[in-house]
Amino acid sequence: MKILVIGHTYIASINRIKWQVFANKLNNIQVKVIIPKFWPASLFNINAGDYKKDNLNNCEFIALKTRLAGNEVLYSYKFLDLYKILKSYKPDIIYVEQGDNAFSYFQIILLAKILRLKSKFTFFTWVNWHHKWSIKYKLVWSFIEKFNLKNSSGAIVGNSVAKDILINKKFLKNIEVLPQLGVNERYFYPVCHPELAVPDEALREVWVSGSSQITIGFIGRLVSEKGIWDLLKVFLDLSKKHNNLKLIFVGSGKEKDNLINFIKKNNMQDNIEFIPSILHEQVGEILNKFDIFVLPSYDTPEWKEQFGHVLIEAMACNVPVLGSNAGNIPDVIKNAGLIFEQKNLSDLNNKLELLICNKHLRKELSEKGYNLFLKNYSYDYIAEKTYKFFQEIL
């Protein structure tokens, strides 16, 4: 089986492990992964770097120049570059991780048809909300979306709502619900791995002494819809009753200055810390400083939490998680953490205080989260499910 993957996600070296694991598990397959040479993102501008070092005998990464990099829907590759790869490789499956309406997906389908290849086409999407498209989009871009869907043999979606949206578009072919990425265990692991012969009490200092500092953490964009103001206000309230609390925000965004001013006004500088945006490879180290991880996002008409990948990274680090019921967060956490009603400060307060005061519950949820990560979110699991899906559409 020869597979051609297109996706900007793999411009980041840490994410390439997905296809390395896939290739290592399956000797009867070949994988080529096309990535942009450069991708401007909200936090970092990312270059493909020395991507060839990540190649395996049956897994090759290919970096190409693009137009309109940074826009998942609009960006494209040079037709001639794609044409040459398709003509020489002749893939059995073409898998584009840019959504059903991506121009790059349209490109590759069109070129494969020109070459009269017998490739099966499939795509990945996270989108779990209904866009409000402009008239221009409906007149022009809707044609591309319909063309892509018509020629697709199946889809992998990151959440159940994305599946429902595709079905509403009359896409009735095979749809697999599966996260795009798992967790790279080279960077995300417990401070003291469960397999080591260390007493449970040693896993976290806070479990040893109820008076130890309890660190509550958030990692993500510092924007309102991430629920950061709700978390801050609840933290200020709980700090009046518990003098051993610390809150850490990791990330950047337009609300950062407003948050800092609010904290200074309330004289909470000693209890709240900001860490600027860090490399993905460094996130695990920060997560292991947390006793509780909170993702308090809320839905807006234009956006919903599509997955909340940092949740499963926290689980892989044995950190108990608390999330809102926004977007796909409850489906990710399942029964391995606590859920509160989005934008409900009272509910957030109660659930967070429960975790603060109950070290046994923290321990129980951290173990459940770690086991859930191993079962549903490891790259071995994702490789097996992806391969089964590819077999089904051939």
Contacts of 387 (CB under 8 A, 6+ apart): 22, 25, 26, 29
What tens digit of pLDDT does each residue of 239-288 get? 999 999 999 999 999 999 999 999 999 999 999 999 998 889 999 999 99
Residue 84 has pLDDT above 60, yes or no: yes
The pLDDT tens digits of the residues spanning 31-43 come to: 999 999 999 976 6
According to DSSP, residue 300 is labeled: B
Cβ distance 360 to 312 under 8 Å?
no
Is the pLDDT at 104 greater than 90? The verdict is yes
Q: Compute the distance between CA of residue 276 and CA of residue 251 in angstroms, rounded to an integer.
A: 5
Q: What pLDDT, on a 0 to 100 scale, did the predictor assign at position 191?
A: 82
Domain range list for the chain: 2-182+378-393, 200-376
| E-only strand ranges, 220-357 | 245-250, 272-275, 292-295, 321-324, 338-340
Query: What percent of the chain shows pLDDT beyond 90?
Result: 86
Q: Do the domains spanning 2-182+378-393 and 200-376 agree at the CATH topology level? A: yes
Is the pLDDT reported for residue 198 higher than 80?
Answer: no
Distance of CA 19 to the CA centre of its chain: 16
Judge whether 47 and 18 are in contact, CB under 8 Å. no
Give just the sign of the alpha carbon dihedral 182, 186, 188, 194: positive
Overall average pLDDT of the 1-19 stretch: 96
What CATH number belongs to 2-182+378-393? 3.40.50.2000
The pLDDT score that the predictor gives to residue 135 is 79
Residues in contact with 311: Cβ distance below 8 Å, sequence separation at least 6, in sequence order: 293, 295, 321, 323, 329, 332, 333, 337
Mean pLDDT for the chain overall: 92
From CA 226, how far away is CA 224, in angstroms rounded? 5
Residue among 131, 63, 138, 71 nearest 98 (CA): 71
Distance between CA atoms of residues 289 and 199, nearest Å: 19
Among 165, 99, 155, residue whose Cα is nearest residue 129: 165
Identify the CA nearest to 149 among candidates 132, 166, 126: 166
Q: How would residue 44 be classed by pLDDT, with cut points 50, 70 and 90? A: low
pTM over 0.75: yes
Let me know: does 333 contact 339? Beta carbons within 8 Å.
Answer: yes
Fold of 200-376: Rossmann fold (3.40.50)
Q: Which residues of 324-337 are buried (b: 16+ CB within 10 A; e: fewer)?
A: bbbbbbbebbeebb
What tens digit of pLDDT does each residue of 215-225 get? 999 999 999 99
- Token pair in block for residue 63: 């970096």
> Which residues are CB-neighbours of 325 under 8 A, at least 6 positions away?
339, 340, 341, 342
Q: pLDDT by residue (tens digit) across 318-371?
A: 999 999 999 999 999 999 999 999 999 999 999 999 999 999 999 999 999 999
Q: Give the pLDDT confidence score for residue 192 in this predicted structure.
A: 60
